[in-house]
Structure 1
Amino acid sequence: MNINQFECFVSLAQYLNFTKASRVMHITQPAFSRYISNLEDELGIVLFHRNKRSVVLTEAGKVFLEDVKRMLRHLNNGIINAKQVQNRKSQILKIGFIGPFASYFLPKLLDNIRNTHPNIGFIGFKSCNSIGCSSMVFGRRKRICYWSWNDWS
């Protein structure tokens, strides 16, 4: 069994017509018919009643259809989730900070950033002086730098 067979099964269940379902799947009708027949043979279940004029889901086919739809949704969600995790690696927020700011504001800031931007996989930060911090921002090595007016004295 393979995913193509399950997708063809769902398509045929939707259209109840081999020609329409195979066109939607961009598969020739003979190949599409083989996918369905092979699926039924591998499962040992008759999923459709067929004659020259109609295709109808069997009771077993109706039950199987709901499970296959759920399985395909889970598969698609899994692919999306895996891609999001992979993309997080490239989404890094770099923050520079000066002195006392870190102990009070930084934990709150990091929590807020993580809550509002869950796609950021890592937040990097570095302690620096005011000149170093601002040069890192202007040199695009840091996205954000924080300091208080007290840090300038």
Structure 2
Amino acid sequence: MNTNQLECFITLSSTLNYARCAEELHLTQPAVSKQIKSLEKELGCELFYRTTRSVELSEIGNQFLPEAKSMLDTYYHSKEWINNYKINEYHSFKIGYTDPQSIKMITQALSDMYIGDATLSPKLVYNQTNTNLQALSNHFLDVVVCMKDALFKDSHISFEPIHHDGFVFIISKEHDAYHTFKDLKAVHTSDLFPIEQVIALPPYLLKSYFSRGRTLLPVNNKLNNIICENVNEAYGLVKAGYGFALVPESQVVEDEGILTLPWLETPRNDFGIYYFNGADLSLTKEFIKAVKDYYK
């Protein structure tokens, strides 16, 4: 299937006349007929009903028409942006991130970069940490923004720490337990066990997180806790009253309906940026600097 076939099919479906179709496409009638017949042969069906006096779309042809238009539109759209990309020398920069809470920071960093380079063409890819890091190793991404993964090893990938993250306690001011915490300056682990917990945990970490009865964060398994995939979901569930959550300091959101307190026994881990040790790191270095400026 090619664009000549699609152009002839779409135009003929509009004119229902070989002579007018050929005229619009600046082709001969035999050339149009050849393209239609080759498309029908390739698809294994009749797209038109033909008589000596008329041409009509077949039932299959009528159903195929929107798809043919979509394919042709996609082709011309792709051709246009690729030509513009080459003419304007856009610089592609693909960023993997693991939590929607990071979007505000990423977009601010990109905004700072755009001021100095209007040809920057960013692409944001949301996925789990392990999937994004694999994509980075395979050169499908330029950077990955996430917490440092102790299990990830690749000699070609470097990690730039941005923030030495601890965790903070959050709970809705509408939750029954809010009054227990509203006058505190910080919370202890022992304060948390009586309350249901919202645990932000990517699916790929589920098995290892709860193995051997040890967890990074305290969990009272006797309660009806809820597991979600990211901090953004945790905030939504906490605000809906499903319990408290412990979230990374770098991903805290200001919300008048949420009480946020330091957790005194918090473990810490680096939040930062993974990047491939390639030949040209100019955009990567700009992005790292912009992210660091965001957290100053």
Letter in 2 for 1:27: L
Q: Which residue of 2 is the match for residue 142 of structure 1?
A: none
Partners of 1:90 and 1:4 in 2: CA distance: 30
- Whether contact under 8 Å (1:89, 1:121) holds in the other structure is no
Deviation by residue 1:56-79 (Cα, 9 ceiling, x = unmatched): 001100111110000001111101
Q: Which residue of 2 is the match for residue 41 of structure 1?
A: 41
Q: CA deviation at 1:90?
A: 7.8
3-state SS of paired residue (2:45): coil
Q: CA deviation at 1:88?
A: 2.5
Structure 2: unaligned runs, 5 residues or longer: 92-107, 122-296
Q: Which residue of 2 is the match for residue 79 of structure 1?
A: 79
Partners of 1:2 and 1:12 in 2: CA distance: 16
- Please give the TM-score of this superposition, normalised by the length of structure 2: 0.32
Q: 1:53 to 1:112 in 2, by over 3 A?
A: farther
Bigger helix share: 1
- Whether contact under 8 Å (1:49, 1:56) holds in the other structure is yes
2:49 is the counterpart of 1:29: no
Q: Which residue of 2 is the match for residue 57 of structure 1?
A: 57
Q: CA deviation at 1:2?
A: 2.0
- Whether contact under 8 Å (1:12, 1:18) holds in the other structure is yes
Runs of at least 4 residues off by over 3 Å:
none
Q: 1:62 to 1:90 in 2, by over 3 A?
A: closer
3-state SS of paired residue (2:49): strand
Q: Which residue of 2 is the match for residue 133 of structure 1?
A: none
Deviation by residue 1:16-70 (Cα, 9 ceiling, x = unmatched): 0000001111111011111111111111110000101111001100111110000
Give the length in aligned residue pairs.
103
Identity percentage over the alignment?
Answer: 36
What are the residue-to-residue correspondences of 1:66-105 with 2, within 5 Å? 66-89=66-89
Deviation by residue 1:67-98 (Cα, 9 ceiling, x = unmatched): 0000001111101111121122289xxxxxxx
Partners of 1:112 and 1:53 in 2: CA distance: 65
Higher RCO (C-alpha 8 Å, min separation 6): 2
Letter in 1 for 2:70: R
Q: CA deviation at 1:113?
A: 8.0
Q: Which residue of 1 is the match for residue 272 of structure 2?
A: none
Letter in 1 for 2:40: E
Partners of 2:111 and 2:65 in 1: CA distance: 43
